[in-house]
Amino acid sequence: MLAICALLTVQGCSKTATHEAESSRVAPTPAAYGITYDPAPNSPPGEWTSPARDYANTHYSPLAQIDRGNVGRLRMAWTFSDGALHGHEGAPLVVGDTMYMVAPYPNRAFALDLSKPGAPIKWVFDPQPSPVAIGKACCDPVLRGWVYSHGKLIYNLLDDHVVAVDAKTGKQVWRTKMANVEDGITMTMAAFAVKDKIYVGNSGGELGVDGWVAALDVETGKELWRAHSVGPDKDVKIGPRFKPFYPQYRGKDRGVKSWPPGMWKQGAGSVWGFISYDPELNLIFYGTSNPGPRVPAQRPGDNLWTSGVFARDADTGEAVWFYQYTPHDQWDYDGVNEQMLLNMPVNGRMRKTVVHFDRNTYAYVLDRATGEVLKADNFALQNWSRGIDRRTMRPIVDPAKEPKPEIKVERICPPDVGQKDWQPPAFSPRSGLIYVGIFNLCMDLTDHKVAYIPGTPYDGMETTRYSADGANGDWGAFLAWDPVHGRLAWKRTEKFMVLMGPLTTAGDLVFYGTTDGWLRAVDAYNGKLLWQQKLSSGITGQITSYLGPDGRQYIAVPSGAGGVAMLQTGRPGFPARGSTLYVFSLDGIQGAAAAARQGRAR
């Protein structure tokens, strides 16, 4: 039998002034879980060459110089500002003695010399994207990551170009146009590299765009294949290899027939999250966004292939399986959040799994080869569904929370931004736990029917979002999740949203940040606060760690509030915009010369 939880309504931990961690019934121990992951592409331990560091999307660093015993000595080593006052959501990369940073729009890239005090700039690349893109970006002109591959720094521009820059010289190697920004299409996702290919996708689900993912040749930028999220099978690259586990996804041209006539053409399903890869199966995994328009009354049907996850052949793009997290998505819950690849016991049997924390508040565990749902457990407060149908694995929707045009539906939990948005979690193979930043929000929703006009919002949702605990309640939390048993291990409540990519390390630490600017280090096993530092702006980026040329471990975190975090601008204590990267080390030491100076001072 499937180990599927019925509805578990998580009411949220009781709030305390100190926000100390609250433990679950069973203390986590590594031996209890037996979870492993594939560390491919096996980058050197001190480097960080892609947003999540590995193909499995774990955000785990094998460095252990900074640990639970000495983390209290962390001090600022150096800072860097890119000058762009938009949301900073990407991860600093380190290759050898160089750090690579890419700013949000206008997407300037910087190479910083880690071998010298203060990490001076080696080069700057200014791609000069079209200013038209600013007016087309849904929520903020952000960039969620960049990647290093084959001696190149490769990333998306907001105006629908992919650019490759020589990592040593900062000179453009190639530049490929993927779409027309005037049509409402932008590109904010983190480019992903496997072997000789770069994978990219588009943004613009709120503008009724045609969603897709594409593969480019890493050396030339030539487009090798493109797979659409909606439309006929030939466009979605559905063929003989497509073997979905559940019957509702079988049949010809379901990407057309699950829509009213012709509406699939503006059906969205954009791909703006993260991609993961299994080298053994040679499959990539990624999520698709909400359908368009966001008003569900205008598009009866399941609206395939939106708000779900695809597994595709990494070489050809052929679809292998699909699962829809939120059929006929009525609340803009999307499905673009990351797919973490873990090997874990399920009902006493080791399985190769995809673990996904959806905006709809279900933590899914799927079989990586077939798409079978093995577990689906609530990790945060929700009331839109009454559980999961074990036969079809479709959510059982509460009719009282379904939106209807021109009727205000009150207190839908979660709101359209979910109890977790795009921000990726992190996994520690030492604790066996997954660490997730979440929200504590509900919304009042009124839908208004809309007409499609190319390049303009195809939206219609009028929302009011607020804390689930009332006017003075907390807006966020950071939690540790036991994926084997589908339950909370510990949780720390936060006044503001937790909207960033945390970092786990072999020093048994977890680093996370808050949108009001607190960077915290906690014990990976119990959530105890061990160190914290207030930064100048909110933290919405992804935290990384690297080994400098001096042999020291550093922690790097971008600070610059933006994106969904700006929902909190009216709350007392919310910080100003920012554009600063902060880098920390033990005692704030950087470089051999700095160490010698500190030694003499003592």
Got the DSSP string for 175-213? EEE-S-GGGT-B--SPPEEETTEEEEE-B-GGGT-B-EE
From residue 294, give the alpha-carbon distance in Å to each of 301, 332, 405, 466, 563.
Answer: 13, 6, 11, 20, 19
Residue 234 burial (10 A CB sphere; 0-12, 13-18, 19+): exposed
Which helix (DSSP H) or strand (DSSP E) does residue 597 occupy? Answer: helix 591-601
Peptide bond into 293 cis (omega under 30): yes
Closest CA to 237 of 261, 257, 212, 218: 212
Which helix (DSSP H) or strand (DSSP E) does residue 256 occupy? Answer: helix 254-257
CA angle, 59 then 63 then 67, to 5°: 100
Choose the catalytic residue: 38, 329, 332, 358: 332
Q: In this structure, are strands 503-505 and 60-61 parallel, antiparallel, or unpaired?
A: parallel
Residue 248, SS3?
Answer: helix
Residue 332 known to be catalytic: yes
**What is the chain's alpha carbon radius of gyration, rounded to the nearest angstrom?**
22
From residue 588, give the alpha-carbon distance in Å to each of 48, 149, 161, 530.
Answer: 21, 31, 39, 17
Identity of the residue numbered 509: L
CA angle, 423 then 429 then 434, to 5°: 30
From residue 361, give the alpha-carbon distance in Å to each of 395, 489, 492.
Answer: 11, 16, 17
d(C-alpha 384, C-alpha 372), whole Å: 23
With left for phi above 0 and alpha for psi between -120 and 50, is residue 458 left, alpha or beta?
beta
Residue 602 burial (10 A CB sphere; 0-12, 13-18, 19+): exposed
Q: Do 45 and 62 contact (CB within 8 A), yes or no?
A: yes
Which helix (DSSP H) or strand (DSSP E) does residue 133 occupy? Answer: helix 132-136
Beta bridge partners of 324: 308
Look up residue 56 and give its DSSP letter.
T
Which helix (DSSP H) or strand (DSSP E) does residue 99 occupy? Answer: strand 98-102
Q: Do 381 and 10 contact (CB within 8 A), yes or no?
A: yes
The total number of residues written for the chain in this structure:
602
d(C-alpha 159, C-alpha 163), whole Å: 11
d(C-alpha 225, C-alpha 238), whole Å: 13
- Annotated binding-site residue numbers: 89, 144, 188, 206, 290, 332, 564
Closest CA to 155 of 135, 136, 129, 180: 129
Active-site residue list: 332
